Structure 1
């Protein structure tokens, strides 16, 4: 489980590619690697990966073909900067919202509006995720827990404070970049439940029942 509060951004120290498989290696600081054990979960651009080897601060993570296909890790090479978050622990402050680290798709950056103290990023709103991308709702983008600021038919925007720009890869973002998306699980559950009830007629029947009681 993750909170969407990215702890650092850092370059990939090495990528070792094989058929439908890749190993990503990072050079973690002494402070950041403290307490990390083999098998622990770490979010890389919001993608939950498992620490395979730890040699001092040199830590490796494997990604299978499906992960490389669904997420932007498929295009990440040595030297590319990514967002990193260690898994949350019981008792930690949840500053963002609860994330699984399971990426649902990628969206393209369509427009960037930058001023001295604000950064507005517009991204595509794909049809199969549109029902979950709602005004003022939560969304995770490259592992960052963010609030959706504006929604249009085929695109949505987030507004980023300077801290987010400084700590995460959003400070380096460009038009055309592919961004990992994980929609809010609670929003997805509510939307899917309402859809199921509407499709089955249960919702209308329940509303009629309430009306009859009144």
Structure 2
């Protein structure tokens, strides 16, 4: 489990194909790789990966075909910058929100505009994810815990502060960049319970519309 507060940015040094998957070797900027245990979980741009090898200032992870097909990892090449976060330890402050490292979808940055000292990003999302992304709610973008400024049916907007721009890969992310998206884990499970009729039987899109909900911005 993670919090979406990025502790370091690493650079991909090598991508080695392995039986449909890949071994990814990264060099962190400041994270001490010797402190990482084999088998430890590290969020890499929002993907929970397991340390397979470390040493010499580098750390390697194995990505299976399922992970590659559901995330941006398939497009990683030597030189790709990756957000890094070690797993939450008992007693740590939960400064962001609960992030599982299980990517729900891949979005694309549609627009970027300066906003004060920060920036506003507009990011696409599949409509299946839209019910889980709410204004003032939380979303993880490439592993970064962020607050949704505006939510639409097929996209959402973020207002990024200078600290986020300086400490994560979002500082250089331009329109056209693909990003990993993870909805808030609580919203995901509530939606599933409603879908299965376990929570609030009879609650569906039609009922919400009758009560004045569900007519969000296009």
With normalisation by structure 2, the TM-score equals 0.86
Tell me the SS of whatever aligns to 2:35: coil
Q: What is the count of residue pairs matched by the alignment?
A: 204
Structure of higher CA gyration radius:
1
1:11 equivalent in structure 2: 11
2:105–2:125 CA contact under 8 A, matched in 1 = no
Label 1:199 to 1:115 Cα distance change in 2 as closer, same or farther (>3 A): closer
Deviation at 1:30, TM superposition (A): 6.8
State the match for 2:215 in structure 1. Answer: none
TM-score (norm 1): 0.88
Secondary structure of 1:12's aligned partner: strand
* Structure 2 stretches lacking a partner, 5+ long: 205-218
Aligned to 2:72: 72
Within 1, Cα distance between the matches of 2:30 and 2:164? 23
5 Å matches for 1:109-124?
Answer: 109-115=109-115, 117-124=117-124
- Equivalents in 2 of 1:43, 1:156: separation in Å? 23
Runs of 5+ consecutive residues of structure 1 not aligned to the other structure: 205-214
Instruction: Name which of structure 1's ranges 111-120 and 145-154 shifts more when overlaid on structure 2.
Output: 111-120
Q: CA deviation at 1:203?
A: 5.8
CA RMSD of aligned residues (A): 2.1
Could you tell me how far apart the structure 1 residues matched to 2:203 and 2:170 are? Answer: 41
Name the structure with the higher helix share.
Answer: 1
2:212 match: none
Give, in whole Å, the separation in 2 of the partners of 1:64 and 1:21.
Answer: 4
- Given the alignment of the two structures, is residue 184 of structure 1 paired with residue 176 of structure 2, yes or no? no
- Whether the 8 Å contact between 2:51 and 2:60 is mirrored in structure 1 is yes
Q: Any conservation in 2 of the 1:30–1:57 contact (CA below 8 Å)?
A: no
Change (3 A) 1:37 1:120: same
